[in-house]
Amino acid sequence: MPNAKAYSATSDTSPLAFAQIPRREPTERDVEIEILFCGVCHSDLHQVRNEWSAMPTTYPCVPGHEIVGRVTQVGSGVSKYKRGDIVGVGCLVDSDQTCPQCQANLEQFCPHSTFTYNSPDKHGTAPVTYGGYSSSIVVDQHFVLSVPGNLSLAGVAPLLCAGITTYSPMRRWGDLKGKKVGVIGLGGLGHMGVKFSHAFGAHTTVLTTSPNKKDSALSLGADEVILSSDANEMQKHTGSFDFILDTVSADHDINAYLNLLKIDGTLTLVGAPDKPMPVSAFGLLFGRKKLAGSLIGGIAETQEMLDFCGTHNITSDVEVIPIQQVNEAYERLLKSDVKYRFSIDMASLKSA
C-alpha cells in the first residue's frame, strides 16, 4: 500500500504537522490524483478541533475537501479521465449510488455517503478517509470533476465547497435575472454568492455589519450595500427582496432579514450557527415567506457549477500559502483575516 505525504492533526489541541498516510492502489473504478491546490474551509478548522458534536473527529485527521489536481493513474474501467487531466474533488468521495437520493443526483443526502475526510473508509485503507492536505488522493471516478482549462487552479479549489454551496440554492430558486437578491455576509461563502448572483443577472445587494466592506462588495459585482446594523437603512428595504442567501455562521437575528423578503420570497441558510435561531412565526406567515437550508450540491450540479464558472470566468479570490503556514492560516481564519479564502500550494509539501 503506497504512502502519501500529508499534514494531519493527532488531537483536538495539536497543530497540523507533517505525516505519512496510506493511500490505496486504484481499483478499476478509481482515479489517482496528484494534488496541486487545496482550499482551506472553515469546516476544516471545526473538524480538526473537534468542535462539531454531531460529527466527532477521529484522529489522526487529515482535512481538506477543496481539491484540484492532476490525474496520474486510472483504473481499467475508467474512460472519462486519463493521465494528465486536471480535475477536482469536493466534499464527497463515495456514496451507495443506488438509493433514491443518488438516483436523483443528490449524493450529498445519501445515507451512505462518504465525505472526503473523517468518514469511515469502506476500502479499509485507514479507519477514516483522509483529505486533501496531502500529496495525492484516490477517488471513485463518479466523484471526480472536470476543471475548465481557462481558470486559475488556485482559485478553482474553493469552488469545490464554497462555490457549490452558494451556487446550488441560487440555481435551484429559479431564474434570478432582474430579481433582487441579497447576500448576508462577505466572507468565503458570501463573496462567491455575490459573484454568482451578478453572473445570473440579479440586482445584487450585500448585507453586512461592516461599513468598510462596501468598496470590496461593489468590486465583486454587488449593485448596492446595506449596513444591516442600521435599522433605518434596513427599514427602507422592507418587503423588497425576492431571494436572500445567508452565509453567516455567527449568531444573528434572522427575523430582521426575513422582514426584507417580498411575498413568497425565500431566505436560504448556508452558514451554520452553533446555536438555534429564534424565528418569528408571524414573520413567515405575513408574506407567505420561506426559510430554507442547503447543503453543498450533487456531483452533476457541481460539474454544472464548474462549467458555469468556466463560461463566466469565475474563481474564488484566494491568498495562496505553503502548507507550512496552515496553522497560522487557521488563526487568521478565526479573525476573518483573509480575502476571501486560503488556497494551499501543495508543491510546498514536497519539501516537508
Q: Measured between alpha carbons, how far is 52 from 104 in angstroms, rounded to an integer?
A: 28
Domain boundary among 278, 293, 308: 293
Residues 152 and 248 in one domain: no
Torsion of CA 97, 83, 74, 33, to 10 degrees: -70
Q: What are phi and psi of 136, to 5 degrees?
A: -155, 165
Q: Does 181 share its domain with 125? A: no
185 and 233 both lie in a single domain: yes
pLDDT tens across 82-91, in order? 999 999 999 9
What sign for the dihedral angle of Cα 258, 264, 270, 274? positive
What whole-number distance in Å separates Cα of residue 116 and Cα of residue 75? 19
What 3-state class would DSSP assign to 41?
coil
Instruction: Give the domain range for residue 233.
Output: 163-293
Q: How many domains does the chain have?
A: 2
Residues 58 and 139 in one domain: yes
Closest CA to 132 of 40, 13, 27: 40
Name residue 28's amino acid: E
- Asked if the peptide bond before residue 148 counts as cis, ω within 30 degrees of 0, the response is no
Of the candidates 244, 260, 293, which is a domain's last residue? 293
Q: What is the CATH number of the domain that holds 47?
A: 3.90.180.10
Copy the grid coordinates of residue 217: 462588495
**For residue range 142-194, what is the model confidence (pLDDT) as tens digits?**
999 999 999 999 999 999 999 999 999 999 999 999 999 999 999 999 999 99
Categorise residue 233: left if φ over 0, alpha if ψ from -120 to 50, beta otherwise: alpha
Per-residue pLDDT of the chain (352 residues; tens, 9 = 90+): 789 999 999 999 999 999 999 999 999 999 999 999 999 999 999 999 998 888 899 999 999 999 999 999 999 999 999 999 999 999 999 999 999 999 999 999 999 999 999 999 999 999 999 999 999 999 999 999 999 999 999 999 999 999 999 999 999 999 999 999 999 999 999 999 999 999 999 999 999 999 999 999 999 999 999 999 999 999 999 999 999 999 998 889 999 999 999 999 999 999 988 788 999 999 999 999 999 999 999 999 999 999 999 999 999 999 999 999 999 999 999 999 999 999 999 999 988 7
Taking the C-alpha atoms of residue 237 and residue 271, their distance in angstroms, rounded to an integer, is 23
Say whether both 319 and 175 belong to one domain.
no
* pTM for the predicted model, two decimal places: 0.96
Look up the CATH number of the domain holding residue 225. Answer: 3.40.50.720
Please indicate, yes or no, whether residues 86 and 46 belong to a single structural domain of this protein: yes
What cell numbers appear for 318 in the block? Answer: 484566494
Residues 183 and 221 in one domain: yes
Identify whether residues 31 and 139 lie together within a single domain.
yes
End of a domain among 267, 293, 319? 293
> Do 40 and 125 lie in a common domain?
yes
Question: What does each C-alpha distance from 274 to 46, 85, 109, 168, 209 come to in angstroms?
Answer: 11, 39, 21, 22, 19
Cell of 64: 481538506
Instruction: Report the distance separating Cα 286 and Cα 239, nearest Å.
Output: 11
Contacts of 325 (CB under 8 A, 6+ apart): none
Are 273 and 312 found together in one domain? no
Residues 244 and 228: their CA atoms lie apart, in Å, by 13
DSSP string, 283-330: HHHTTT-EEEE--S--HHHHHHHHHHHHHHT----EEEEEGGGHHHHH
Can you list the positions of beta strands (E) in 108-175?
114-115, 136-140, 145-146
Phi, psi (degrees; rounded to nearest 5) at 142: -65, -25
Residue 322 and residue 183 share a domain: no
Task: Mark whether 256 and 191 lie in a shared domain.
Answer: yes
Q: What are the start-end ranges of the E strands in the chain?
A: 3-8, 17-22, 30-40, 67-74, 86-89, 92-94, 114-115, 136-140, 145-146, 180-184, 203-208, 224-227, 241-246, 261-269, 290-293, 318-322, 341-345
